[in-house]
Amino acid sequence: MGTLNIVNKSPFEKRTLDQCLKRIGEGDSVLLIEDASVSAVLGTASAELLLNASKQSKLYVLGPDLQARGFADATLLDSIESVDYEGFVNLVVTHDRVHSWL
Amino acid sequence: MEDDENQGGEIKKFLYVNRRQPHGTVYALESLETVLIGAAFDQDVSMLFIDDGVYQLKKEQSPDVMEFKNFSKTYKALEMYDVEKVFVERESLEERGLGVDDLLIDVEVIASADVKALVDQNDVILSF
Amino acid sequence: MTIEVNGKSLDTDEEGYLADLSQWEPDVATVMAEIDECELSDNHWEVINFLREYYEEYQIAPAVRVLTKAIGKKLGKDKGSSKYLYELYPYGPAKQACKYAGLPKPTGCV
């Protein structure tokens, strides 16, 4: 199944998330990790960007990275699923390839 | 079908995605060296330049004024290493006021909308 | 390590490649060849000069496959063969000749 795109930069500092989202499509997934994880929280300026992307791609966030940043109990955007490390590994093996947007 | 699978196991297709300017960080040079090493070992290699990565191919770079190595000349050697699939995204060029005439090698220009299809054709994606 | 060339001592890395490429002069090649007990003929020099020009143009020491092909194009088919180049440079045409030419170790050489 498609490409698993991993983004680790905060969308409030770098444009990596935007640059990734505009080049993916049907069957692709995005996993937000590290500094990108905060964009999964409800009520940020990147909500619209992610909402649009969720129409054709599956979006995930790495839970432990949110937890580390104080958002363990935060409400996430509807279209984003939180995964743990095991879920991360599952995503890697269920996709055809991984694209890490450094 | 079986043959295809066997071949996929042996010769993987590598796509190197270049997204950064050439001289601010070491990514561009590292990417280029990795490409050349891969090509020397007969890997099936493609390169894609998007976002600030298109600046890597700008003509007339003179990083020697800052005493940096002018590795922009090395992109001209790619063809001799049989790296012939070099793609540049049109939108990235346009955003930066650049065109193919500004680039130091012949490339295939593709639209942003075609990047996914290119990625889908490859087995391994390495982003720099 | 260092080598002595015309009264100057030049630094090399542990494999004998010149540390500062700008210190190269033709006698560097002669001295390095003497260390390997090899005498440089016109044919050796042809390859060394070719590599110097190649590096100036592309800023890279070519892998052996690329060197062989490029030499064939420039100096004729007879010379663009591994056999010819290995006879001249038995330690490996890319490695040994690049060293004499003052180039870094070829990219893709392990």
| ipTM field | 0.91
pLDDT of residue C109: 58
Q: What is the domain range of residue C23?
A: 2-100
Would you say residue C106 lies in a domain?
no
List all residues 6 or more positions away from C25 whose beta carbon is below 8 Å from its beta carbon.
C5, C6
Among B41, B38, B33, B43, residue whose Cα is nearest residue B11: B43
Asked if residue C71 belongs to a domain, the reply is yes
Which domain CATH number covers C90? 1.10.10.370
What gap in Å lies between CA B86 and CA B78, rounded to an integer? Answer: 9
CB neighbour class for B112 (10 Å; exposed up to 12, middle 13-18, buried from 19) = middle
Residue C109 lies in a domain: no
Average pLDDT, chain C: 92
The beta strands (E) that lie in A1-96 are given as 3-7, 29-32, 58-62, 80-83
Confidence at A60, pLDDT banded by 50, 70, 90: very high
Cβ B85 vs Cβ B108: under 8 Å = yes
Average pLDDT score over residue span C71-96: 93
Taking an 8 Å cut-off on Cβ atoms, the answer to whether B125 and A24 are in contact is no
Residues of chain C in contact with residue B36, where contact means CB-CB under 8 angstroms, are 60, 63, 107-108
CB A99 to CB B123 under 8 A? Answer: no
Indicate the residue of B36, B69, B73 with minimum beta-carbon distance to C107. B36
Say if residue A102's pLDDT is above 70: yes
pLDDT of residue A69: 98
Number of domains in chain C: 1
Q: What is the pTM of this model?
A: 0.90
Please say whether the structural domain B15-127 has been given the CATH code 3.40.50.1380: no
pLDDT tens across B39-97, in order? 888 889 999 999 999 999 999 999 999 989 999 999 999 999 999 999 999 999 999 99
CATH fold label, A3-101: Hypothetical Protein Ychn; Chain: A, (3.40.1260)
* Spatial distance between the Cα atoms of C15 and C50, rounded to a whole number of angstroms: 22
pLDDT at C108 over 90: no
Catalytic residue among C4, C13, C109, C110: C109
* C98 a catalytic residue: no
> Per residue in A74-84, pLDDT tens?
999 999 999 99
- Answer yes or no: do C108 and B80 touch at CB < 8 A: no
